[in-house]
Amino acid sequence: MGRSPCCDKAGLKKGPWTPEEDQKLLAYIEEHGHGSWRSLPEEAGLQRCGKSCRLRWTNYLRPDIKRGKFTVQEEQTIIQLHALLGNRWSAIATHLAKRTDNEIKNYWNTHLKKRLVKMGIDPVTHKHKNETLMSSTGQSKSAAATLSHMAQWESARLEAEARLARESKLLHLQHYQNKKAAAPNHCLAHKASANWTKPNKGNGDQQLESPTSTVTFSENHHLMIMPSGENNNVPNMNEFAVTSSTSSDVKDSDHDWMRQINCPTEGLTSLLLGDSADRSLSTVKNDEAEAGAVAVNESEYSYYEDNKNYWNSILNLVDSSPSDSSTMF
């Protein structure tokens, strides 16, 4: 279709914002809200295009933005989520309270990416260069495939989350229209639900169900992700199920699959962040990787434990999103 750029008009200012411009924009939004960004500049007395105003507001002036140095925790979160989601900055930003996608993107490009490269790790795949030596064993290939599946799975989950958020809003509105009296908040109700269930017509206690996966938690159970098809060794994107299990529940067939979550970035985060204890661990692992012996030398259980910890940390991050629409699979 095509559309003419919003900043075509002559006389509109570009480039860095002055404190006066910031003040004008802030004052206007505080008093009127932003309303239509297109008409805002004129009404606020700014020689800027609406898009420029919107970006300035969302990336800089908004009061709920945290600025300044990233904490170790934030760095860890970014690295782990990037391993899972890639360059999906807005998705990553939803898991870092008060940070904008632009800031995270800049921080990744100027700091974290370089650190990875310096250490011989591909910032795109999060694989150590030694990892390529393992590829002939097939272990690395299946790890990559699994990682890819995980990313697809997370993509699907994020899309579903967005859809659910919309549905929840609608349900919430309908609910209030039907019952003006105080009632349970369904937006939060399904968020708190362990199972992700679908709106059930005719059932007052509406639930939302994931088309692709479920997850359950209990205090004494490990979070596990496994293919729902019984005989699958490698999960199919459409057959993911996330279930809970005690360690003793782990069967050989489960091990086969869990082994394939051999995340190449295991230990990477702490390594990058300078954790000496983890560094030594990771060094050992890398040495083993060089010998092409990781999968062969480790017991299945410890293998499972290592990977479980890595993925649990990522999944916990994903699961503990600050946004209202999150926290369920």
Task: Tell me if 305 contacts DNA by CB under 7 A.
Answer: no
The least CB distance from residue 272 to DNA, in Å, is 15
Q: Report the residue number, 7 or 194, with the smaller CB distance to DNA.
A: 7
From CA 191, how far away is CA 186, in angstroms rounded?
A: 8
Q: Report the residue number, 162 or 173, with the smaller CB distance to DNA.
A: 162
Q: Report the residue number, 87 or 136, with the smaller CB distance to DNA.
A: 87
| From 24, 29, 41, 56, residue interacting with DNA (rule: CB under 7 A) | 56
Structure tokens, 135? 């590829």
Structure tokens, 166? 């919309």
Q: Report the residue number, 106 or 280, with the smaller CB distance to DNA.
A: 106
| From 39, 71, 73, 174, residue interacting with DNA (rule: CB under 7 A) | 39
Q: What's the N-to-C CA distance of the chain in angstroms?
A: 37
The least CB distance from residue 321 to DNA, in Å, is 13
Task: Tell me if 58 contacts DNA by CB under 7 A.
Answer: yes
Options 83-91, 209-217, 253-261, 319-327: segment touching DNA (CB under 7 A):
83-91
DSSP-based three-state secondary structure for 64: coil
The least CB distance from residue 166 to DNA, in Å, is 6
User: Which of the residues 261 through 290 are near DNA (CB under 7 A)?
Assistant: none
- Residues with Cβ within 8 Å of 34's Cβ and at least 6 positions away in sequence, in order, are 40, 53, 54, 57
User: Which of the residues 12 through 31 are near DNA (CB under 7 A)?
Assistant: 13-17
Task: Tell me if 185 contacts DNA by CB under 7 A.
Answer: no
Residues in a beta bridge with 243: 224
CB atoms within 10 A of CB 162: 11
Task: Tell me if 118 contacts DNA by CB under 7 A.
Answer: no
Q: Report the residue number, 18 or 132, with the smaller CB distance to DNA.
A: 18
Options 5-13, 149-157, 190-198, 236-244: segment touching DNA (CB under 7 A):
5-13
Helix residue ranges, H only, the chain: 19-32, 40-44, 50-56, 72-85, 89-93, 101-107, 113-118, 131-134, 139-178, 186-192, 252-259, 268-272, 276-290, 294-297, 300-319
CB 205 within 8 A of CB 185: no
Q: Report the residue number, 106 or 132, with the smaller CB distance to DNA.
A: 106
Q: Report the residue number, 60 or 244, with the smaller CB distance to DNA.
A: 60
Structure tokens, 204? 């007052």
The least CB distance from residue 147 to DNA, in Å, is 18
Structure tokens, 147? 């990682």
Sign of the CA dihedral 187, 192, 196, 202? Answer: negative
DSSP for 201-240, written as a single string:
TT-SS---B-SS------TT-EEEEEESSTT-SS--GGGE
User: Which of the residues 93 through 112 are near DNA (CB under 7 A)?
Assistant: 101-103, 105-107, 109-111
Binding footprint of DNA, residue count (CB under 7 A): 42
The site for DNA (CB under 7 A) is made up of 1, 3, 5, 7, 13-17, 34, 36-39, 48, 50-52, 54-56, 58-60, 67, 87-91, 101-103, 105-107, 109-111, 114, 162, 166
